[in-house]
């Protein structure tokens, strides 16, 4: 059978691209071997011909949407053990035209740390996970490849009365979490993870190893909330540990629509950001089975941490939020580290050793985020209920996290995280599914997009704000080969508001060629 001219051209082009790709891979690997001065680095390099390539690639992929045959794969995965090997990887990538995606091993909502439309290398920091806790001086050094679970475990291993204000999911990677802000149950008392970073070690585009003093305050400002992968490879963070009581109190009170959930949640919006800063009550909204057989209802789960005993919590709740009807039997006192297990959803009685398990849960999901500045009226909440009762929302969640307290006190320009005073709570919209295939993914993503459109009148405006750690490519993407300020500002102002221009200025100075980039990276601009 004869090939058409166009088919022959395509076949030749494909063959050329494969040969070019293979040649680039080989040249890159040879460059690493040459600069390392020995062959030890070869044990840290994985290509598609290596039997461990697939397992290394999938080791921290949590979203199955980005673990398919059509997902772009890296030419090479490098898992360095030494800072010098990170420097060599950056140097050789630039020499041979390969983009670098830095992965710290946690929850990447849009797969931007392990997929790219152009030839790329994954710099996987799985081996950079050392944690050193100094109880006497209340700080710790934690490497970017560690998980929050590992960090919490080692803090608690040293002290029952020290903690750190970061996220509730123990399999989150420290590197991405800190660099995007990072929040959890302690944010009303102590702010964000990034608010409590006091030093960092970073390798810049020139391969220089920098600390806070040598990188300068502008760059140190940018990496705490501005998305650290836009500015270099952050190897390690120095964090300020915070005091926590030897015993805290937790509770979860569930209310469905038949139990007055609408009015209780409506009231929560008026008081949650004004509670004593020792009290954090988030709300998780989902559809559940109704007591009426065959029916579904919406449940609001009021999920709380109080930094103290229930003897003080109960009168505080009676005064501030009596509508919930909290009673002593709802409350459980435990250590701070046990509260970490509680919020992560582990059964009671488990050892904190479970936090050292790095294996993430894997499923299909899509997420979005919003900030709420004024309480949503009851009629608006009822519209949310209608959408949660649709069949595509069987495994959907809305997580409402209250602000106020310390978040109101820190200036929105103190670090690039701008969502401070004026926000009463943040919403994370999530939908999960298990069905395979593009049609299924489109069905569920269409549902969450409709929900997001419905929410528009009730959330922040001009810009409609979003949380950078909940990456959302629906907001906007850069043309990766020709990024412009005007293009990037479409989504950049939603993530960073007035901080975006300063971030661009820092990016222009530290990475003028835009080597550290992805679909939502911050572009450099000549002024």
Supply the residues annotated as catalytic: 470
Q: Give the 3-state secondary structure of 285-350.
A: EEEEECCCCCCEEEEEEEEEEECCCHHHHHHHHHHHCHHHCCCHHHCEEECHHHHHHHHCCCCCCC
**CA distances to 170, 263, 353, 449 from 267, in Å:** 31, 6, 39, 27
Residue 305 CA to residue 184 CA, distance in Å, equals: 10
- The strands making up 197-203's β-sheet, listed across from edge to edge, are 131-134, 139-143, 233-240, 197-203, 209-210
Do the strands 120-124 and 99-103 form a parallel or antiparallel pair, or are they unpaired? parallel
Question: Sign of the C-alpha dihedral, residues 453, 456, 459, 463?
Answer: positive
Tokens found for residue 65: 């949407």
Residue 311 CA to residue 443 CA, distance in Å, equals: 48
Question: Sign of the C-alpha dihedral, residues 453, 454, 455, 456?
Answer: positive
- Cβ-based neighbour number of residue 2 at 10 Å: 6
Closest to 265 in 3D by CA, of 276, 274, 255: 255
Closest to 287 in 3D by CA, of 493, 468, 451, 173: 451
Residues written for the chain: 527
Tokens found for residue 408: 């109101």
Tokens found for residue 397: 């969640």
Tokens found for residue 425: 């709570």
Q: What is the DSSP code string of 187-206? A: HHHH--TGGGEEEEEEE-TT
Closest to 235 in 3D by CA, of 204, 199, 202, 197: 202
């Amino acid at each position: 059978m004869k090939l058409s001219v166009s088919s022959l051209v395509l076949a030749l082009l494909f063959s050329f691209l494969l040969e070019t790709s293979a040649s680039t891979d080989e040249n890159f690997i040879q460059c690493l071997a040459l600069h390392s001065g020995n062959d030890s680095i070869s044990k840290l390099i994985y290509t598609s011909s290596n039997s461990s390539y697939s397992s290394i690639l999938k080791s921290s992929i949590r979203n199955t949407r980005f673990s398919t045959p059509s997902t772009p794969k890296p030419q090479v995965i490098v898992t360095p053990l030494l800072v010098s090997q990170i420097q060599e990887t950056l140097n050789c990538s630039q020499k041979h035209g390969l983009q670098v995606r830095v992965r710290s091993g946690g929850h990447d909502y849009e797969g931007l740390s392990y997929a790219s439309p152009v030839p790329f290398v994954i710099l996987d920091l799985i081996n950079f996970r050392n944690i050193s806790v100094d109880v006497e001086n209340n700080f710790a050094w934690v490497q970017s490849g560690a998980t929050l679970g590992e960090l919490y475990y080692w803090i608690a291993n040293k002290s029952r009365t020290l903690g750190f204000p970061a996220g509730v999911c123990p399999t989150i990677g420290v590197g991405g979490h800190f660099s995007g802000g990072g929040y959890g149950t302690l944010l009303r008392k102590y702010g964000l993870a990034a608010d409590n970073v006091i030093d960092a070690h970073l390798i810049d585009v020139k391969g220089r190893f920098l600390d806070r003093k040598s990188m300068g305050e502008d760059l140190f400002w940018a990496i705490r909330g501005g998305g650290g992968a836009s500015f270099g490879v952050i190897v390690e963070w120095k964090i300020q540990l915070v005091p926590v009581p030897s015993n805290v109190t937790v509770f979860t009170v569930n209310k469905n629509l038949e139990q007055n959930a609408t009015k209780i949640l409506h009231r929560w919006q008026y008081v949650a950001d004004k509670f004593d800063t020792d009290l954090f009550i988030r709300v998780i909204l989902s559809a559940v089975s109704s007591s009426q057989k065959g029916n579904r209802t919406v449940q609001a789960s009021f999920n709380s941490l109080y930094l103290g005993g229930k003897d003080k919590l109960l009168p505080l709740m009676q005064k501030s939020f009596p509508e919930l009807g909290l009673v002593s039997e709802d409350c459980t006192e435990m250590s701070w580290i046990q509260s970490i297990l509680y919020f992560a959803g582990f059964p009671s009685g488990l050892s904190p050793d479970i936090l050292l398990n790095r294996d993430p849960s894997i499923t299909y999901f899509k997420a979005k985020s919003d900030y709420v500045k004024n309480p949503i009226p009851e009629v608006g909440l009822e519209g949310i209920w209608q959408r949660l009762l649709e069949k595509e929302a069987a495994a959907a969640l809305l997580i409402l996290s209250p602000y106020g307290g310390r978040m109101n006190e820190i200036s929105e320009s103190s670090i690039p995280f701008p969502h401070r005073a004026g926000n009463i709570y943040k919403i994370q919209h999530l939908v999960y599914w298990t069905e395979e295939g593009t049609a299924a993914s489109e069905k569920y993503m269409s549902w969450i997009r409709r929900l997001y459109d419905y929410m528009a009148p009730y959330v922040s405006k001009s810009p409609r704000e979003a949380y950078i750690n909940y990456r959302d490519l629906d907001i906007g993407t850069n043309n990766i080969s020709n990024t412009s300020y005007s293009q990037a500002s479409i989504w950049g102002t939603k993530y960073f508001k007035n901080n975006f221009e300063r971030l661009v200025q820092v990016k222009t100075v530290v990475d003028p060629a835009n080597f550290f980039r992805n679909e939502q990276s911050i572009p450099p601009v000549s002024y």
